[in-house]
């Protein structure tokens, strides 16, 4: 049985504030491809590649690359699969690093929320997640809020926020973020981890928020709202 197709409107769409809000994630080749208001991100077996969208007139920028290197509690290393392929779960890219550890990237309009979920935590001491920085990550500098800014020629291109620990009962603790050469360390203090109800989440946020995006970029958006289909494209 055939079905008649609705004609696609050819009426020009006028830019509005609602068109500039949104995010999405889809399978793309061997990885996942996503975007938000002012960023594009790709996930593959080498990690996340986050690129701020600066507009047609801006100089090209290398993506901020984040690749998990190790997880440790005190002196106890936690076994991880460092080359896992990401799985698509709605607007979230999920890496199964072990049967009890998941690395997640939930896309938001203004950035992506990176989190590590721990169902079990052997060992004693601080919980430290170590990721390799590449591309734009080489321009990391301490930020006023305790996180990291990624700065080129005096302009902040991306920001990695502070670390928060959240346990299964909703208890929260402030963690720390530290650059160590080509790596960034995300940590939670032993005093919180030892009493945390599992699963425990370690949670920083990465964004391109606050950038001066060139207005002409709106002529070639990464995402638009289709009124007839009532969906983002």
- How far is it, in rounded angstroms, from Cα 232 to Cα 107? 14
SS3 49: strand
* Torsional class of 123: left (φ above 0), alpha (ψ -120 to 50), beta (otherwise): left
* Torsional class of 22: left (φ above 0), alpha (ψ -120 to 50), beta (otherwise): left
Model confidence, pTM: 0.81
18-51: per-residue pLDDT in tens?
A: 444 589 999 999 999 999 988 999 999 999 999 9
pLDDT for 16? 38
CB 39 within 8 Å of CB 107: no
- How far is it, in rounded angstroms, from Cα 140 to Cα 151? 7
CB 90 within 8 Å of CB 106: no
CB 66 within 8 Å of CB 50: yes
43-102: per-residue pLDDT in tens?
A: 999 999 999 987 766 778 899 999 999 999 999 999 999 999 999 999 999 999 999 999
């Amino acid at each position: 049985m055939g079905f008649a197709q609705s004609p696609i409107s050819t009426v020009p769409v006028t830019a509005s504030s609602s068109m500039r809000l949104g995010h999405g994630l889809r399978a793309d080749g061997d990885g996942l491809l996503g975007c938000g208001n002012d960023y594009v991100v790709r996930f593959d077996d080498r990690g996340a590649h986050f690129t701020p969208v600066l507009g047609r007139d801006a100089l090209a920028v290398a993506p901020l690359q984040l690749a998990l290197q190790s997880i440790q509690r005190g002196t106890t290393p936690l076994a991880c699969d460092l080359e896992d392929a990401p799985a698509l779960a709605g607007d979230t890219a999920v890496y199964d690093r072990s049967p009890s550890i998941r690395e997640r990237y939930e896309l938001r309009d203004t950035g992506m929320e990176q989190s590590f979920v721990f169902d079990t935590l052997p060992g004693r001491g601080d919980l430290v997640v170590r990721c390799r920085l590449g591309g734009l990550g080489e321009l990391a500098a301490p930020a006023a809020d305790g996180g990291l800014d990624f700065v080129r020629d005096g302009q902040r291109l991306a920001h990695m926020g502070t670390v928060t620990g959240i346990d299964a009962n909703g208890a929260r603790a402030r963690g720390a973020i530290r650059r160590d050469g080509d790596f960034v360390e995300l940590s939670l203090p032993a005093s919180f981890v030892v009493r945390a109800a599992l699963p425990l989440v370690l949670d920083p946020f990465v964004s391109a928020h606050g950038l001066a995006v060139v207005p002409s970029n709106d002529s070639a958006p990464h995402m638009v709202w289709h009124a007839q289909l009532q969906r983002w494209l």
